[in-house]
Amino acid sequence: MKELLIFSERQSNRLVYMANVLTERWGVTVKVTTDKSVLMDSDLPVYNYSNLPIQGLLNTIPNRLLFEKRIQGQDLNVENRKNGPYLYANNDSFLGFDPLAAAFFFLSRYEEYLPHRKDEHDRFTSKSSVLFKLDSVQCPLVDLYIEELRLAFVKKYKGLALMKGVFQTEITFDIDRLFLYDSKGMAKTIIGAAKDLILNRAALAERLEITIIGAAKDPLHIYEHIGSMAKDSGLTPRFFFQVGESSRYDHNNPAHLPTVRNLIHEISLKADIGLHPSYFTCTDQEQLILEHDRLKRITNQEIQHSRQHYLRFSLPNTYRWLENMGVSHDYSMGFSDVNGFRAGTAYPFRFYDLGCEETLGLTVHPFIFMDLLSVRSQESIHACKTELDSLLNTISITGGVLNTTWHPETLVGYDVPFSSMPLLEYFLQKS
């Protein structure tokens, strides 16, 4: 059997979206129908998602969430179980909760449209999330819900083969600046040297040795090394480049300099690449378009992948802008203050735009682990490895992608308590 039906008394874009999520997860076509005859007469497996409970079928009394056309506060009716908290608990449903509504709440990022407290960079933080309140930031609740539903179907319909998700790893690098000292432009080099003269004489000596004498290599010029490490482990690395203008929060090297352009182009020939839009593109569509076009010219490639600098994005506007530019994959979906599952899942998923109630062509790739967050929050490399192992073990059970994010500055130990290079080596060995 290659098809599964969801019976509902009403059609809705939100319900169709969830049917498509199941189609992608399970490898069979999942369709929504309002034809009541399928409840008794269909030869296909039927999931009765309606207020008409039928003996012999898997019945879920649906929560209203998937049939609403507005955004409003939700009564999540949480029930704590052994595996974790379950949203939209309902004793009249065969699983005791509504798995489709619960999964949609997280995947649509419904809570980010509701009033919430943001941080100093205008970002949604873990402490504002339902997951934090439920002590489940590092638990992929959506994946648990969908797996429980899959097991119920497989048990009831013996000939129904539904794929179980497999565990994968992915490695990405955020290139906030290509060089620490080199290729900064004359003005930045002079200002940086003046600051080092006052604050850090050792850094001044290193800067002069690189930029004036040319006797040493820039500390961040490790791209060939980390790219080779990833490929030796069977992973294809992806580098996200910042090519915007400088600001208080953007310290990238000027993209017009030949050394900068040449290195970006060289890396793009050996690895997958994407755009790392600068800090203010979150609210400036024209600047976002400018940077996207600039990276296309530098690499002579179509740029279809992106991750926002500082993880600053606004829903749904940023995703609409990216899609309109031709970007089809975004990697910004993660917390800026803790490692874990911002959308409750380790699987890529299409973005549902609650503003216009339709599914965008943009695929969201949640990142689960960032080296900078781990190094800043843990007291040692050993503690970082423990955190990484915990996430590895969790996703290996539920399936999904352990998407990891690394920074050259953190890898070389710049402005952090300790280098994350041993952590990267450990991750690649585990991969």
Other CB atoms closer than 10 Å to residue 361's CB: what's the count?
Answer: 10
CA angle 62, 66, 67 (to 5 degrees): 95
What is the 8-class DSSP label of residue 114?
S
49, 130, 182 from 75: Cα distances, Å? 19, 12, 55
Query: Which H helix or E strand runs over 153?
Result: helix 141-156
pLDDT tens-digit readout, 335-346: 999 999 999 999
Phi, psi for residue 329 in degrees, rounded to 5: -140, 125
Looking at residue 211, its pLDDT comes to: 56
Question: Which pLDDT value is given to residue 189?
Answer: 46
Show me where the domains of the chain are located.
Answer: 3-156, 167-180+218-430, 186-215
pLDDT of amino acid 187 = 46
Residue-wise pLDDT tens digits, 125-155:
999 999 999 999 999 999 999 999 999 999 9
Burial of residue 98 (number of CB atoms within 10 Å: 0-12, 13-18, 19+): buried
pLDDT confidence of residue 286:
97
What pTM does this model have?
A: 0.92
d(CA 409, CA 319): 28
Sign of CA dihedral 196, 202, 205, 210: negative
Which residues have CB under 8 Å from 357's CB, separation 6+?
Answer: 13, 14, 69
Question: What is the predicted pLDDT for the residue at 212?
Answer: 47
Question: Does 167-180+218-430 carry CATH code 3.20.20.370?
Answer: yes
Tokens of 356: 């216009």
Position 237 scores a pLDDT of 97
pLDDT for residue 38 = 86
Q: With a cut of 50, which residues of the chain have pLDDT below it?
A: 185-187, 189-194, 196-197, 199, 204, 207, 212-213, 215
